[in-house]
Structure 1
Amino acid sequence: MTAAIPLVEIVRGGVREGVHHGSVVVTAPDGSVLRAVGDVDSATYPRSSNKPAQATGMLRAGLELPEQADLALAASSHSGESAHIARVRELLRRNGLSEGALRCPRDWPLNEAARDERAEQGFGRQRIAMNCSGKHSAMLATCVQRGWSLDDYLDPKHPLQVELHATVTELAAEPIAATSVDGCGAPLFAISLTGLARMFSHHVTAAPGLPRRRVADAMRAHPWLVSGSGRADSKLMSAVPGLLSKEGVEGVLALALPDGHGIAIKIEDGAARARLPVAVATLRTLGIDVGELEALAEEPLFGGGERVGAVRPIPGALD
């Protein structure tokens, strides 16, 4: 079996002090593999990179949303900024629910300023501030609209989760290798990186109006809602026209270009700092003008407040 390879180096003062291993796959619009480095065939958990497919499954199950922005929120890992929380609360309210119906864990906002603001206002950890509350509120809305039970909406045998399982299987074009529980409490489906890249490609190549295309269009139209201020997905989708992007914890990032090329990245040790440099380098290999993303091609390292090095792709690693 092919193993993850050295992709990113940590260089400080001209000396390499560490390496992040990883795997990358690029698929063509027809699903064939154009480029693969590392292990792109073994099962892995895409984590939140599964969210576009989960949102697609909700639409297929009958979810109706009044605004495109709500669909972007359904596929989000939001930062818990005030506009994110307000939209989650409104989505719940429109379906006759309160935040007490959410079954995701209580948490602080991911955004540091939002976290400080809520602490100053006397709030502690809350379910609605958890980064997956948009997905959970959409899951609950689907259940309300279909007349399904609410208390057990996270049970893998619940009709909602059965539909989401089927959707991921179809869009990845491979069987789900394993099911576990994500950090938010929802069922988590394992697929290969190749399946993940194909899944993203299927979102952007679908005909306008189809559920998976509606999800892609919503995310690309509202990148800030998908993530938040200064976050990777917002930066990527804002900088490259038509790009679809969704990161997942443990070093996962999935992308699709508007022409249908899919990209899936996994950093083996889960290091988030290595994802963007690899993503920018991969886009370059496809001839994409990365423009303002050029600044993200390296993650700076500091010493004593001064830049002394960088986290950067290893030259030739993606060849």
Structure 2
Amino acid sequence: MQGALSSWQNFLSGFFWGFSISIAQWVGLEIVYQLIDRRISWIETPVKKVFVQVISFLTYSASAFIIVQLANYYIWLGILPSESWKSIIRSLPFTLLISLVLSLIFTAIGFFFAWKNAFLQAEKLKVEMLAYKYESLRNQINPHFLFNSLNVLSDLVYDDQAMAVKFIRQLSDLFRYVLDSRDKELVPLKDELEFIRSFTFLLKTRFEEKLKIDVDVQANPEEYIVPMTLQLLIENAVKHNEVSEAFPLRISVRKVNDCLEVENNLQPKNVGDDSKKTGLKNITQQFAFFSEKPIKIITSDERYMVRVPILKSVEK
């Protein structure tokens, strides 16, 4: 009876001894892995992460093994740390070998999942980019804008031939820019502003004093923007607001720090089912691909403003 009891005591002590070592290693290494994973990126600094992870795993594993073993020797066998120290140190290399294997396993798994997530994210951005380009290409020149421009041109041919010639040149510059920029992800801001001058000339020729557009932007050589951003914002303002002699629409384009602001007085009109509200969404997705700075929409009872970041050449 006494032997059986002694056998059960040996079994339980051996079980809890081994269990405490396993828990300390697995749970502790998982915590160490999570802490490193939050602070060091696989994508940005993979070599640094491998080095830090392996060293941290080995350091923690050795420390945890020594502490748990000292406690087990004292709890189950009554042996003081000063007496059990040599025995623990002799078995430490086996623990370090196991820890090295575990660290390599964690490293391989972590690198695989990081690579997989980066690949999926890149594919998602690629799909969003293609969708944006398709939508942008489809809406680059609104058919209504083209139809109205041709109507204005037909009137000018009879009333003012000199203005008609200038109108045709501006319309030609507009389409040349559309064709040149359709395959570009970013364009210099100065090129976009030249395009906007042609675009606003056509709009103001059509609406005359009913539409006032003020562009106050000086572009630097290193500044870029998503092509046709300003055109879409100005066109949205004209599309969604009343433009008449009684209620003239005033649009201002200005540069504030590293952003462009397009603001108009708010006098909304019903645009019916023709408004799909995809323009701003597409621009937002496109800018998110190049910059962490968000596009901001600021509204009040009288004003509507969209603020977009100016992109630098290094972001291209």
Of Structure 1 and Structure 2, the greater helix share is in 2
Fold similarity call, TM over 0.5: no
Larger Rg: 2
Q: TM-score range by the shorter chain?
A: under 0.3
